Every structure is written in C-alpha cells, then in structure tokens.
Amino acid sequence: MSRENVVLIGFMGTGKSTVGTLAADKLGWTFVDMDTWIVERAGKTIPELFASEGEAAFRAYEREALRELLSGRGRVLATGGGAVLAAENRERMLAGGLVVALTATKDAIVERVRSDRNRPLLQGDVEERVATLLEARLGAYDFAHLTVDTEQLTPDEVADTIVRTLKASAQSS
Ligand code: S3P
C-alpha cells in the first residue's frame, strides 16, 4: 500500500470534504477536493458541466484529475462519489495512497444532501434518488484499505482514525 497520499471515497454526503480538510491539517498535507479541481479546470459548475457536456464528459475530467493529483504526494484527496465506478480509477487510487471509505446510512445521507442543488444526480425526489443510487453502488466502495462509519464518530475523530492508520502502516513496514 502506498502511503504517499490519502484518498477518501464514499457516497455523496458521507463527509469526505469535511474529514479530508481536518486530516490534511493534522498531517500538514494539502487538501484537494476533486470536484473543486474539476470546476476550476472546466470553468463551469458541476450542474453546468453535466447539463452542457453530459455525465461522460464529467467522468473524463474525473479520470484526468486522479491521474494528475495522484502522481504527486502529500495530498489528501476527496473524490466524488462516482469516481470509484471506473476500474482505471480504482487501480490508480489503490496504487497512489491509503484509500479510505466513509460510510453513512441512507437516512443520514438524505438529511445531509436534502437541500443541495449542486449534485445533478440527486435532483428530483432526493430520497428516491439516494435509495436508487445506493443500491446501484452497493459494494462499490468495498475495495478501500480502511472503512470508517461516519455516524458513530465526529469528523475530527474520523480524521484521527485516518492519521493513526497511516502512521501505523508506516511503522509496520
Ligand atoms: C457524484 C458525486 C459528487 C459529484 C457529482 C457526481 C456521484 O461528488 O462528483 O455530482 O456520481 O456520486 P460528492 O460525492 O462530493 O458529492
């Protein structure tokens, strides 16, 4: 396992950005939110990008982001919830860093994303969209080196768990 970066994966609303910011701070590393990176690169918001270029174009930006961001070191990366769907991305994540999956129940996710207009895949009936996508993505995050349930811990405790795991894996090799 590479310890050069931390890659946070997980469904929308599992707290990847919040936890990633805290973990980067504790490690003295750089936090990068992949969606923000894509918005800057594309010059469009995520909803604009989906509307004007389509989801496939967004997924291409996502692959490019991972290629570029995981070629370096010392980064904590919050990936978008669908970034794990491409095998190429999963391989790159596993080779590029400690992959940490954050989980939460459907109800907690719905609460966290309910009023969000920035996620094109959740527009309409949020509860139905979350349920359908969670089902479609069942098992999609299971390839992580470490899985942390975000409902039993505060974001700070989740970040501490990640830092501890990273340091323990450095000592054991
Ligand atoms: C997506 C998740 C979003 C964003 C895009 C698609 C997905 O990121 O990349 O709206 O397919 O799950 P977050 O997981 O940060 O919300």
pLDDT on residue 15: 96
Pocket of ligand 1, beta carbon within 6 A: 12, 16, 35, 46, 80-82, 119-121
Q: Read off the pTM.
A: 0.96
Name the residue among 68, 61, 57, 9 with its Cα closest to residue 38: 61
Region at 137 (left for phi over 0; alpha for psi -120 to 50; beta for the rest):
alpha
Residue 173 pLDDT greater than 70, yes or no: no
> Does pLDDT of 130 surpass 90?
yes
In this model, does residue 92 exceed pLDDT 90? yes
* pLDDT of res. 170: 78
Separation of CA 58 and ligand 1 centre (Å): 10
Alpha-carbon span 12 to 7, nearest angstrom: 15
CB 13 within 8 A of CB 129: no
State the pLDDT at residue 16: 98
